[in-house]
Amino acid sequence: LAKTTQPISMDSYEGQEVNITCSHNNIATNDYITWYQQFPSQGPRFIIQGYKTKVTNEVASLFIPADRKSSTLSLPRVSLSDTAVYYCLVGDMFSGGYNKLIFGAGTRLAVHP
Protein backbone atom coordinates (compact mmCIF):
# COMPACT_ATOMS: atom_id res chain seq x y z
CA LEU A 1 0.00 0.00 0.00
CA ALA A 2 1.04 3.58 -0.49
CA LYS A 3 2.38 5.22 2.62
CA THR A 4 2.58 8.91 3.34
CA THR A 5 4.77 10.67 5.87
CA GLN A 6 4.35 14.27 7.01
CA PRO A 7 5.89 16.16 9.93
CA ILE A 8 3.51 16.10 12.88
CA SER A 9 3.85 19.80 13.59
CA MET A 10 5.59 22.98 12.47
CA ASP A 11 5.91 26.46 13.89
CA SER A 12 6.33 29.71 11.99
CA TYR A 13 5.93 33.44 12.35
CA GLU A 14 3.75 35.84 10.46
CA GLY A 15 5.19 36.90 7.13
CA GLN A 16 7.44 33.88 6.71
CA GLU A 17 7.26 31.29 3.96
CA VAL A 18 6.32 27.80 5.15
CA ASN A 19 7.14 24.59 3.32
CA ILE A 20 5.44 21.34 4.33
CA THR A 21 6.69 18.15 2.72
CA CYS A 22 4.80 14.91 2.32
CA SER A 23 6.75 11.79 1.40
CA HIS A 24 4.75 9.19 -0.48
CA ASN A 25 5.91 5.92 -2.00
CA ASN A 26 3.94 3.54 -4.24
CA ILE A 27 1.54 6.18 -5.44
CA ALA A 28 -0.51 5.58 -8.55
CA THR A 29 1.25 6.63 -11.72
CA ASN A 30 -1.58 8.62 -13.24
CA ASP A 31 -3.07 10.24 -10.16
CA TYR A 32 -2.65 13.77 -8.91
CA ILE A 33 -1.36 14.79 -5.49
CA THR A 34 -3.75 16.94 -3.50
CA TRP A 35 -3.42 19.06 -0.37
CA TYR A 36 -6.13 20.06 2.08
CA GLN A 37 -6.35 22.52 4.97
CA GLN A 38 -8.45 21.90 8.06
CA PHE A 39 -9.43 24.33 10.79
CA PRO A 40 -10.81 23.15 14.15
CA SER A 41 -14.44 22.03 14.03
CA GLN A 42 -14.52 22.19 10.23
CA GLY A 43 -14.11 19.72 7.42
CA PRO A 44 -10.95 19.82 5.29
CA ARG A 45 -10.81 22.37 2.49
CA PHE A 46 -9.09 21.82 -0.86
CA ILE A 47 -5.98 23.96 -1.34
CA ILE A 48 -4.11 22.76 -4.42
CA GLN A 49 -3.55 19.78 -6.67
CA GLY A 50 -0.72 18.85 -9.02
CA TYR A 51 0.85 16.05 -11.01
CA LYS A 52 4.45 17.10 -11.68
CA THR A 53 6.79 20.07 -11.36
CA LYS A 54 5.20 23.19 -9.94
CA VAL A 55 1.65 24.39 -9.60
CA THR A 56 0.65 27.76 -8.17
CA ASN A 57 -2.69 29.28 -7.27
CA GLU A 58 -3.77 32.28 -5.28
CA VAL A 59 -3.06 30.70 -1.90
CA ALA A 60 -0.18 28.22 -2.32
CA SER A 61 2.38 26.54 -4.52
CA LEU A 62 2.97 22.84 -4.88
CA PHE A 63 6.33 21.39 -5.87
CA ILE A 64 6.52 17.80 -7.10
CA PRO A 65 9.86 16.30 -8.21
CA ALA A 66 10.13 14.08 -11.27
CA ASP A 67 10.11 10.84 -9.25
CA ARG A 68 6.88 11.93 -7.48
CA LYS A 69 8.03 10.38 -4.21
CA SER A 70 7.33 13.57 -2.33
CA SER A 71 5.49 16.84 -2.65
CA THR A 72 6.03 20.17 -0.92
CA LEU A 73 3.26 22.59 -0.13
CA SER A 74 4.55 26.16 0.04
CA LEU A 75 2.59 28.88 1.81
CA PRO A 76 4.01 32.33 1.09
CA ARG A 77 3.97 34.97 3.83
CA VAL A 78 1.79 33.13 6.34
CA SER A 79 -0.58 34.91 8.67
CA LEU A 80 -2.24 33.87 11.92
CA SER A 81 -5.23 32.65 9.93
CA ASP A 82 -3.05 29.99 8.29
CA THR A 83 -2.83 28.15 11.61
CA ALA A 84 -4.43 24.81 10.71
CA VAL A 85 -3.73 21.18 9.95
CA TYR A 86 -2.52 20.38 6.43
CA TYR A 87 -3.06 17.00 4.77
CA CYS A 88 -1.68 15.49 1.61
CA LEU A 89 -3.85 13.04 -0.35
CA VAL A 90 -2.55 10.52 -2.85
CA GLY A 91 -3.75 7.44 -4.69
CA ASP A 92 -2.32 4.01 -3.94
CA MET A 93 -0.83 2.27 -6.97
CA PHE A 94 -1.79 -1.18 -5.72
CA SER A 95 -5.49 -0.53 -5.24
CA GLY A 96 -8.02 -0.33 -7.98
CA GLY A 97 -10.86 2.00 -8.60
CA TYR A 98 -11.86 4.45 -5.94
CA ASN A 99 -10.52 2.37 -3.09
CA LYS A 100 -7.09 3.90 -3.16
CA LEU A 101 -7.36 7.25 -1.47
CA ILE A 102 -4.64 7.67 1.14
CA PHE A 103 -4.65 10.73 3.38
CA GLY A 104 -1.50 11.73 5.21
CA ALA A 105 -1.69 11.98 9.00
CA GLY A 106 -1.57 15.76 8.81
CA THR A 107 0.85 18.52 9.79
CA ARG A 108 -0.27 20.94 12.48
CA LEU A 109 1.02 24.40 11.54
CA ALA A 110 1.11 27.06 14.24
CA VAL A 111 1.75 30.63 13.10
CA HIS A 112 2.91 33.02 15.81
CA PRO A 113 2.74 36.84 15.87
Task: Give contact residues for other proteins (rule: CB under 8 A).
Answer: 28, 30-32, 34, 36, 41-46, 49, 51, 87, 89-91, 97-101, 103-106
Compute the least distance from the CB of residue 100 to other proteins, in Å: 8
Alpha-carbon distances, residue 83 vs 32, 38, 46, 58 (angstroms): 25, 9, 15, 17
DSSP designation for 22: E
Compute the least distance from the CB of residue 18 to other proteins, in Å: 20
In the complex with other proteins, the residue whose CB is nearer, 22 or 111, is 22
Pairwise CA distance, residues 63 & 71, whole Å: 6
